Structure 1
Amino acid sequence: MRDALVVMEDREGCAALLREAAAYAAGAGTELVLYSPLTGEEYEEAIETLDEIGRIENRDYSDEEALGVARQFAERMATETLDGDVAWSVVADVNEELEARHVIEAAESRDCDHVFTLGRRRSPTGKAVFGDETQRLILNFEGYVTVKVE
């Protein structure tokens, strides 16, 4: 079995999704890859905050350290939610929007054959008019996809 990727979003249901993925990983003997993306806007906010802190501390922070915001979120969530039975690692990324193609690229580059993600309840009309990234993920990923609908 290959590893499983968990899309870590800062919204309700993420802890439950992580517990579900951990149960799968423990049973399958795999590791979890916690994919923690920042939008371009969140990344810029992190850089601005670090710049302000850097001016106070008389220190320069790198752009890479701005990704630490995404890593810290995933690490905190994993530490609070998971016990020591499941091995995990964090991958942080910056994307303009959380799109299925970014999730698929992250999963494939880390040899994951299962993706866990949160979904949103939408009407059939809403899906037809606006599309649905979760649906794109299910249709285009070459592995298993578990969706927890909030």
Structure 2
Amino acid sequence: MDNALVVIDDTDTHRTLLEEAGKLSHDTGAKLTVLAWITPDQVDETAASLEVIEQVEGTSYGEPDSNSAAQQFAQQFADDVFESVDDSIDFTPEGIVVEDDERADEIIAAAERLECDHIFIVGRRRSPTGKALFGDVAQRILLNFDGTVTLKMD
């Protein structure tokens, strides 16, 4: 592993995955990128919230930078996780805006653009008996990424 990508969301499972990926990349000297994603609907909700705040305060925040918002989340989430684990873990935050049905393709495209050879992702358990059935995103990444994929079940 020379260059790893960790795909995160704001859950305990993602926190654990990021801790493990951070320790592994730190111990092996691999470059680590932390990727957060948001949907266009979330961008619209943020813009609407800012508009209300602007009207109440009489201020102007301008148009929100969507990728920047996701990147800022990646930075803050990883800072928080690594502060409790090992604050010497070095990483680069990245953010993307993506429709839910395009998430797997966009994650793979980001990994390829960043020249990653390893992706860390979270999958979901779907059956009550605990049998792991991969969600569409995890399955598509496992099948289509030309590198190693580490999957942590939620």
**Counterparts of 1:132 and 1:78, CA distance in 2:** 25
Q: Deviations over 1:73-92 (max 9, x none)?
A: 22222111112332111111
The 1:53/1:71 distance shift into structure 2, 3 A limit, reads farther
What's the CA shift for 1:30? 1.4
**Counterparts of 2:21 and 2:8, CA distance in 1:** 11
**Secondary structure of the corresponding residue to residue 63 of structure 1:** coil
CA RMSD of aligned residues (A): 2.0
**Secondary structure of the corresponding residue to residue 112 of structure 1:** coil
* TM-score, with length taken from structure 2: 0.83
Alignment partner, residue 88 of structure 2: 85
**Counterparts of 1:63 and 1:76, CA distance in 2:** 18
Alignment partner, residue 38 of structure 2: 38
Alignment partner, residue 138 of structure 2: 134
Alignment partner, residue 48 of structure 2: 48
**Counterparts of 2:73 and 2:58, CA distance in 1:** 23
What's the CA shift for 1:57? 4.4
Structure 2, gaps ≥5 residues long? none
The 1:79/1:57 distance shift into structure 2, 3 A limit, reads farther
Asked if the contact 1:115–1:145 (Cα under 8 Å) also holds between the matched residues in 2, the reply is yes
What is the letter of the counterpart of residue 25 of structure 2? A
What's the CA shift for 1:121? 0.8
Alignment partner, residue 63 of structure 1: 64
* 1:69-148 superposed matches below 5 A: 69-82=69-82, 83-97=86-100, 99-123=103-127, 132-148=136-152
* TM-score, with length taken from structure 1: 0.85
Give the total of aligned pairs.
145
**Counterparts of 1:57 and 1:146, CA distance in 2:** 48
Asked if the contact 1:2–1:30 (Cα under 8 Å) also holds between the matched residues in 2, the reply is yes
Which segments of structure 1 move beyond 3 Å, counting only runs of 4 or more?
66-69
**Counterparts of 2:145 and 2:48, CA distance in 1:** 35
**Secondary structure of the corresponding residue to residue 12 of structure 2:** coil
